[in-house]
Structure 1
Amino acid sequence: MAGERILIVEDETDLLRTLDYNFKQASYETLVTTNGREALRLVAQTPSPDLVVLDLMLPGISGYEVCKSIRNQEKTRHIPILMLTARGEVVDQEMGFDVGADDYLTKPFSMRELMLRVKAVLRRTNNLPAGVVEGFDEISFGPLQVDQNAHQVWVNGEEIQLTFMEFKLLVAFLENRGRLLTRDLLLDQVWGLSAAVQTRTIDTHVKRLRQKLGDAGHYIETLRGAGYRFIKDAD
């Protein structure tokens, strides 16, 4: 759906112009900046942007710090964040997801893949109040409790913080307990992306989700060569 506002934070001016041009051609409204401090000012304004496309390596305040700050503010914590970076190491991706990024693209990337991911995120979040997702309200499973309306998750009574995509992934698993979910199926149902898109996002998100779930992390089983399955019955 056209008309959403995208905040682009990128210190490479040529790439910034390219992103700005392509998003405008796709009928998005854009806000642009080359530094983290200005990004935090823009993201806090009213109305807030619907999505932040955030470069990792920024002068002054890094993309990690910008992402963390956005997630720590009640007004902005629901805004999806897609990180762009030249650093493709798994540890860098994990750091990005750890501070709250919803997705991660390594430079160089195709504009088509970026647009597909942006469109998928905006389609999921469009017209939803902050923190609200589709589906039933509350789920209890063993030590795990999920409140979809409040976008909150508890394990053994202790609240854990999940990013927007981690939350969506957990709900997808809970709604399909005992069933095999292939990577292609998860890519389509959770990310809204075609299986033709090459990405390690799913595996990285599952790894992070398991870690955050702690005692409930083992409920997500890996079926080698096939995908993942959330166990049917709690311990």
Structure 2
Amino acid sequence: MKPMSTPAPVRLLMIEDDARLAHMVVDYLGQSGFAVTHAGDGEAGLEQLPLVQPELVILDLMMPGIDGLEVCRRIRSLPDGLARIPVLMLTAKGDPMDRIIGLELGADDYLPKPFEPRELLARVRAVLRRRGEPGQPANKSTPTLRFGSLEIDRDARTVQVGETVCDLTSYQFDLLVAMAERAGRVLTRDQIMEAVRGRELEAFDRSIDVHIGRIRNAIEADSKDPKRILTVRGVGYVFAKQQD
């Protein structure tokens, strides 16, 4: 009888100039079954990216030389396979503008410093779940969602409008699916975030609006006059049932 093979650990790349913090994270996530490669600055991180081929990048925002925003921008401009790697951005606590800019550049999630290692682990696992953990079979029973020319393939995790493939992060894809599954229902920001992330929004957090804006840019003919995702003033958003 052949021994059961041990699944390969999920590869992560951490780009962080704080060596002490990085060492702690590498050890902690390593104990949870992840293989974490550390790069001490943005240049080194971009060099390591094609070599490591990580399932997720943990990216510090404030670094000397190339900062995290520029690294995120460059990752999203790489060829398809690398450009779609989820990015979890580490930001300074109490600086919402940096978080908003990071999300606009394509970060999938963020975590303010200082943070508890357990929360980082939970965020990493949540992002990977949304993307689909490596080696996990797709749910073939899940149908494709269609609204006029908009097609959302939950198995392939792709979105198309006509023949045009839309560029969304893994978090934005799940946000779109959560709203499309509830088409016609008015949802508050808290309800949308709860459906996607499994936890309530922090009271000051308006990042959901940033993500909605990026989704509109991708799927709407005119993002300033949206027909698919409508704003309900004072309440939240509704995904329209009837579309083109």
- By how many angstroms is 1:185 displaced? 4.3
Q: 2:176 aligns with which of 143, 153, 170?
A: 170
Q: Aligned in 2, Cα 1:230/1:2: closer, same or farther, shift over 3 Å?
A: farther
Q: What residue in structure 2 maps to residue 92 of structure 1?
A: 98
Q: Aligned in 2, Cα 1:134/1:94: closer, same or farther, shift over 3 Å?
A: farther
8 Å Cα contact 2:100/2:207 also seen in 1: no
- By how many angstroms is 1:168 displaced? 1.7
Q: Does 1:233 align with 2:239?
A: no
Q: Does 1:49 align with 2:58?
A: no
Using the alignment, how far apart are the partners of 1:135 and 1:92 within structure 2?
A: 39
Q: What residue in structure 1 maps to residue 3 of structure 2?
A: none
Which ranges in structure 1 are unaligned for 5 or more consecutive residues?
A: none
Which ranges in structure 2 are unaligned for 5 or more consecutive residues?
A: 1-6
Q: Does 1:109 align with 2:115?
A: yes
Q: Aligned in 2, Cα 1:123/1:82: closer, same or farther, shift over 3 Å?
A: same
Q: Aligned in 2, Cα 1:182/1:128: closer, same or farther, shift over 3 Å?
A: farther
Structure of larger gyration radius: 2
Query: SS at 1:85's partner residue?
Result: strand
In the alignment, residue 230 of structure 1 is paired with which amino acid? F
- By how many angstroms is 1:35 displaced? 0.9
Q: 2:87 aligns with which of 77, 81, 90?
A: 81
- By how many angstroms is 1:229 displaced? 2.2
8 Å Cα contact 1:23/1:30 also seen in 2: yes
Query: SS at 1:190's partner residue?
Result: helix
Q: 1:220 aligns with which of 218, 229, 233?
A: 229
Q: What residue in structure 1 maps to residue 24 of structure 2?
A: 18
8 Å Cα contact 2:86/2:170 also seen in 1: yes
Q: What residue in structure 2 maps to residue 206 of structure 1?
A: 212
Q: What residue in structure 1 maps to residue 134 of structure 2?
A: 127
8 Å Cα contact 2:30/2:36 also seen in 1: yes
Q: What residue in structure 2 maps to residue 58 of structure 1?
A: 63
Using the alignment, how far apart are the partners of 2:105 and 2:173 within structure 1?
A: 14
TM-score by length of 1: 0.79
What is the correspondence of 1:176-191 to structure 2 with a 5 Å cutoff?
176-191=182-197
Q: What residue in structure 1 maps to residue 44 of structure 2?
A: 38
8 Å Cα contact 1:2/1:28 also seen in 2: no
8 Å Cα contact 2:103/2:207 also seen in 1: no
Using the alignment, how far apart are the partners of 2:40 and 2:206 within structure 1?
A: 28
Q: Aligned in 2, Cα 1:55/1:220: closer, same or farther, shift over 3 Å?
A: same
RMSD, matched Cα: 3.3
Using the alignment, how far apart are the partners of 2:159 and 2:95 within structure 1?
A: 29
- By how many angstroms is 1:197 displaced? 6.8
- By how many angstroms is 1:158 displaced? 4.9
